[in-house]
Structures are given as C-alpha cells and as structure tokens.
Amino acid sequence: MSSSHAARVERQLPVLRQALDRPGEQRVRVTHPFHPWVGREFVFVGIRQAWGEGRVFFVDDEGVQRSLPTGWTDAAPSDPFVAVAGGRSALRVADMLALVELLDAIAR
C-alpha cells in the first residue's frame, strides 16, 4: 500500500468505523448495467453533492470509502418511465429523438 493511500485510509477511519459498526447497517447496490460492480452491495455511508452531481458514498470490501453517481445505484429514485414501461421499451422517446439528432449531425 502506498503512503498516500495509507494516509487517505487513516483520514477516513472515523467515518469508516462509524459506517461499519452500525447494527442494521444500510446497504447500497450498484445498478448501472455497464459498471463492473453491477449487482454488488456495499455499506452505505451517505449521499452528498460532489463534482457537480449527487454521489453515493459507500465502503468497499477493503474498507475504503468510495463514491459513484447516485443514478448508478439503487439509492436514486426510480425513473417513472422505467417503472411504467415494465421492461417493454429499451429507450424513451426523448432518448430516441436525441439519437436521431446525433446521427443527423454525424452524417452532415
């Protein structure tokens, strides 16, 4: 472990201990279909704004605090379109129209 990594872990220890020692700890699941951790659950630490977006902070299997965009986890509110479509449509109309515009721009 590098000295910078060790120092970072040392700074995070109070937060990590607090998250790991909670009985009935909350967990968060990675839901982004292309993320390598899709389906995995981690100890939830919190949600806050960072790098201009909402991010979920969690503790990985090695005890390191990490974060992902909220929309990549089950901590995000469900998309009403996805809930109503029930898996019957891969894309929303707005997404298909944006794709058409992109393809038109590329073709020019």
Write the CATH number for 40. Answer: 2.30.30
Q: How far apart are CA 92 and CA 99, in angstroms?
A: 11
The structural domain count of the chain equals 2
Half-sphere exposure in the Cβ direction for 34 (13 Å, CA): 0
- 19, 21, 23, 28 alpha-carbon torsion, rounded to 10°: 30
pLDDT at 33: 87
Q: What are phi and psi of 63, to 5 degrees?
A: 85, 15
Could you tell me the pLDDT band of residue 43, with boundaries at 50, 70 and 90?
A: very high
Judgement on whether residues 28 and 50 belong to the same structural domain of the protein: yes
Q: How far apart are CA 68 and CA 30, in angstroms?
A: 9
Q: 31: domain range? A: 3-76
Report, in angstroms and rounded to the nearest whole number, the Rg of the chain calculated over CA atoms: 18
Judgement on whether residues 52 and 92 belong to the same structural domain of the protein: no
Judgement on whether residues 54 and 27 belong to the same structural domain of the protein: yes
Q: Which of 41, 36, 33, 38 is nearest to 58 (CA)?
A: 41
Average pLDDT over residues 56-72: 92
pLDDT at 13: 45
Adjacency order of strands within the sheet including 53-59:
27-29, 41-50, 53-59, 65-69
pLDDT at 66: 94
Average pLDDT over residues 2-24: 50
Judgement on whether residues 20 and 10 belong to the same structural domain of the protein: yes
